[in-house]
Chain A
Amino acid sequence: MTTTEGARASGTAAAVATPFAIELVAVTKRYGSVTALSSIDLEIEPGEFVVLLGPSGCGKSTILKVIAGLEDATEGEIYINGELANYRRPKERDVAMVFQNYALYPHMTVETNLGFPLKMRGSRKEDVAREVASVASLLELTDQLKKLPEQLSGGQRQRVALGRAIIRRPVAFLMDEPLSNLDALLRVQMRSELLKIHRRVGRTTVYVTHDQVEAMTMADRIVVLRTGLVQQVGTTSDVYSKPANTFVATFVGSPQMNLFAGRIEGAVDARKFVSPAVSLPLDRSFSAHPADAPVTLGIRPEDIELGPADQATVAGTVELVENIGAEDFISVSLGELTCMVRTAVHGAAREGERIQLRFPPHVVHLFDEAGQRVERQAQESRSAPGPFPDLSEPKEV
């Protein structure tokens, strides 16, 4: 394994003082010429529930396998409980994994499946029996102990897989899309059960999913990944309200954020966003961004308001109205682009109708040419957000 000096130095320092349950330092994983993970840095606090979120093939399961020791990192260092784990075998890492397809031993009963990790670690028979009874009671599996996995329902199998992980009280649980194949109703049920168990057991959990709802409802922190690169690490509200780039902006949130490519024009005190579909005045918090720079403007569907025409509105034609019960999703055609609006008011628009969309300046997001978030300037947070730009005190930053 080759390790960069920098990574080694920071890793060693972390090993001495780290309170982290799991720490990845510049971890890279390559399969031949394909790079699955690119210099991943990640610190996970004890007891934290961290969700790795990303589309298929982004490397989230590879991170779990690297932490578990089922795959070796090509570069970088992995610390578990503050100790370098790169050269430890999976069984010596003290982590437990719940696999996407449960991986229950089909020739063993639920009881044997649950007790297997303890048996393999040389626990006494009585201790194994006691722990199995306790975990079975926690997971409501007491009546199923004598059954084989094939005799269980999907939810029960999932609980057995979870029980097999819980029983040996590891430093961390690694969960690889454990709910992905359950039906929608059971998934929601198991999601809250998993959270309850996490709160009760209190162990560090690294949870992989491509389902953003799962990620947002369960995570203390979300790590958004794409093509082996970390895009953003933050709480649910960080990732949703302040997406680090256009990928996170569109990947998190359903319907996804509306994006419009254009450029900034106008004087410092009267910045405007201009694009073929949408042209809007921007508030002063974006005045530091240079004029004529290509940018992408983003706005969440629920932040768009329907209202009378003014300087912050854009006219469009309603293409489709989808009533999903609590809300309406309205697709509005703005020339060649389509903009999605989400509103709690039913019947606010009819298909084919011409409507005005208001983009309140304080809720729009700007992304630079590279797709990275343009942060608002500090004074914006002091002034109350309003539908129109505050043009009274132009200030160059």
Chain B
Amino acid sequence: MATADTTRGRAHTDRPRGMLIRFRARPAVEAGPVSIAVSYVIVAIIALACVLPFLYILSTSLKESQLLFQYPPKWLPIPPYFGNYERLLFETPFPRWVLNTLVVATAVTAIKVVIDSMAGYAFAKMQFPFKNFLFVFVIATLMIPFATILIPLYFTVRGLHLLDTYWALILPPLANPIGIFMMRQFIEGLPSDLENAARLDGVSEFGVYLRIIVPLIKPGLVVLAVLTFLLQYTSFLWPLVATNTDEMRLITTGLATQRSVWQVNYGIFSAGAVMALIPITVIFLLLQRYFIAGSLAGALKQ
């Protein structure tokens, strides 16, 4: 048994027992077989609960519409039916919607990462009149529900003749202040001595931001980028209001147009959802290593 082996193994080591041992994290193998089994079951249930909706959508996307409501339900679509994907790709402007979504989400993300980190740096490290008032003012806009500004925003964008353009989809989300708040918190945690050292080394104020601050807040920038991208990728209400033509729709609003008054084709919806998941999953997998912070190690005395 694992436990017995472990105990015997430890008895042979020269490691002194006492304080040193007590401060170490106990290895998992020390737990009894019952508690290990219970923890596996709990973890498996949670994992299943998370994965099940995805599997259901995948399964639905591979079924013909008349099979969706049969009883008892058929979980595995064998043989798989690719008609939903075919219809979506060739009978709707779905590829265009994906392109629009990627263009808008990428543009908003790129611009937001730049302006939010710059604004965050200014609020965190620079001194200027009314700094605190301005920061509170910026943050206060978080508390305004989007529904209340939807109509004024619509009239503003219409007045600027931007309706049904990329600009209508890109500009309004840039005003979301959550990124500024996030970046300010990240940058505030950086020691001022690093900036001061750079200033004495001959770096300009913008250089301090670009050469010192930006590399150090990379994990924060990635978090902001992923969150912003996700938010844009899944946004619905504003794109629905701001676009009229099929060519300018995003994935979310485009798929919504596939729903008629009397009938909803869940197969098409599911196929759209599965295909929409692919780019976002790839992006997330590529960037997930940046989520692990720790870039400051070695900068300062421990």
Contact of A105 with B194 in the complex, beta carbons under 8 Å: yes
Give the CA-CA distance A151 to B298 in the complex, in Å: 7
B202 surroundings in chain A (CB, below 8 A):
91, 117, 120-121
The reply to whether B201 and A104 contact each other, CB–CB distance below 8 Å, is: no
Residue among B193, B194, B199, B298 facing the most chain A CB atoms (10 A cut-off): B298
Q: Which residue of A lies closest to B298 (CB)?
A: A150
Task: Considering the complex, give the chain B residue whose CB is closest to the CB of A98.
Answer: B197
B200 at the interface (CB under 8 A from A): yes
A235 contacts B by Cβ under 8 Å: no
How far is the CB of A204 from the nearest CB of chain B, in Å?
A: 15
On chain A, the number of residues with a Cβ less than 8 Å from chain B's Cβ atoms is 32
Do B215 and A107 touch across chains, with their CB atoms under 8 A apart?
yes
Contact B200 A106, beta carbon cutoff 8 Å: no
| Given A97-B196, A106-B295: A120 and B301 interface contact (C-beta under 8 Å) | no
Interface 0/1 of A86-100, CB less than 8 Å to B: 000111000111011
Q: Which of A58-75 contact B (CB under 8 A)?
A: 65, 68-70
B193 to chain A, nearest CB (A): 4
Query: What residue of chain B has the Cβ atom nearest to residue A152's Cβ?
Result: B298
Do A102 and B301 touch across chains, with their CB atoms under 8 A apart? yes
Contacts of B226 in A (CB 8 A): none
For A104, the chain B residues whose CB sits under 8 A away are 298-300
Considering only residues 283-302 of chain B, those with a C-beta below 8 Å from chain A are 295-302
Q: How far, in angstroms, from A164 to B198 measured CA to CA in the complex? A: 11
Is B95 close to A, CB under 8 A? no
B256 CB to nearest A CB, Å: 45
Measured CB to CB, the closest approach of chain B to A387, in angstroms, equals 50
Q: Is A342 an interface residue (CB 8 A)?
A: no
Is B196 in contact with A99, judged by CB distance below 8 angstroms? Answer: yes
Q: Which residue of B lies closest to A70 (CB)?
A: B196
B216 at the interface (CB under 8 A from A): yes
Task: Name the B residues within 8 Å of A90 (CB-CB).
Answer: 196, 199-200
User: Does the CB pair B201–A117 fall under 8 Å?
Assistant: yes
Whether A97 touches B197, Cβ cut-off 8 Å, given contacts A102-B301, A107-B215, A121-B202, is: yes
- Cα-based distance from A120 to B200 in the complex (angstroms): 10
Residues of B within 8 A of A103 (CB): 191, 193-194, 196-197, 299-300
Q: How many whole Å from A386's CB to the nearest CB in chain B?
A: 51
Say if the beta carbon of B58 comes within 8 Å of chain A: no
In the assembled complex, the Cα of A364 lies from the Cα of B207 at a distance in Å of: 58
B194-245 at interface with A (beta carbon < 8 Å): 194, 196-203, 207, 212, 215-216
Q: Known contacts A103-B191, A107-B295; is A91 also within 8 Å of B200 by CB? A: yes
A101/B300 in contact, CB under 8 A:
yes
User: Cβ of A20 < 8 Å from any Cβ of B?
Assistant: no
A252 to chain B, nearest CB (A): 26
**A120 vs B199: C-alpha distance in the bound complex, in angstroms?**
10
In the assembled complex, how far is the CB of residue B294 from the closest CB belonging to chain A, in whole angstroms? 9
Complex formed: what's the CA distance from A65 to B193 in Å?
Answer: 11
CA distance A311 to B299 in the complex (A): 62
Q: Looking at the assembled complex, report how far the CB atom of B43 sits from the nearest CB atom of chain A, in whole angstroms.
A: 34
Q: Across the interface, which residues of B come within 8 angstroms of A96, CB to CB?
A: 200
How far is it, in angstroms, between the C-alpha of A65 and the C-alpha of B216 when the chains are bound? 24
Nearest Cβ in chain B — how far from A32, in angstroms? 13
Q: Which residues of B contact A151 (CB under 8 A)?
A: 298
A150 adjacent to B194 (CB under 8 Å): no
Knowing A97-B196, A101-B300 are in contact, say whether A120-B203 is a contact too (CB < 8 A): yes
Report A-chain residues with C-beta under 8 Å of the C-beta of B207.
120
Q: Are B216 and A106 interface neighbours, CB within 8 A? A: yes
Q: Is there an interface contact between A91 and B300, defined as CB atoms closer than 8 Å? A: no
Distance of B269 from chain A, by nearest CB (Å): 45
The answer to whether A361 has its CB under 8 Å from any CB of chain B is no
Q: Which residues of A contact B300 (CB under 8 A)?
A: 101-104
- Counting CB contacts under 8 A, is A149 at the interface? yes
> With an 8 A cutoff between CB atoms, is A181 at the interface?
yes
Name the residue of chain B whose CB is nearest to the CB of A65. B196
Q: Write out the residue numbers on chain A whose beta carbons fall within 8 Å of the beta carbon of B191.
A: 101, 103
- Quick one: which of A273-330 are within 8 Å of B by CB? none
How many Å lie between the Cα of A244 and that of B196 in the bound state? 35
* A133 CB within 8 Å of chain B: no
Known: A100-B193, A103-B194. A116 touches B298 (CB 8 A): no
Q: Are B201 and A106 in contact (CB under 8 A)?
A: no
Q: In the complex, which residue of chain B has the Cβ closest to the Cβ of A149? A: B298
A43 to chain B minimum Cβ distance, whole angstroms, is 23
A157 proximal to B (CB < 8 A):
yes
Chain B residues at the A interface, C-beta cutoff of 8 Å: 191, 193-194, 196-203, 207, 212, 215-216, 295-302
Chain A: residues with CB nearer than 8 A to chain B?
A: 65, 68-70, 89-91, 95-97, 99-107, 116-117, 120-121, 148-152, 154, 157, 164, 181
Which 8 residue pairs of A and B lie closest in terms of their CB atoms, listed nearest first? A150-B298, A106-B299, A149-B298, A120-B202, A103-B193, A103-B197, A117-B201, A150-B297
Can you identify 14 A-B contacts, CB atoms within 8 angstroms?
A: A70-B200, A91-B200, A91-B203, A97-B197, A101-B300, A102-B301, A103-B191, A106-B297, A106-B298, A150-B298, A151-B298, A154-B302, A164-B197, A181-B301
15 further A-B contacts with Cβ under 8 Å, apart from A91-B203, A105-B194, are A68-B196, A70-B200, A91-B201, A95-B200, A100-B193, A100-B301, A102-B300, A103-B191, A104-B298, A105-B198, A105-B212, A105-B299, A117-B201, A157-B298, A181-B301
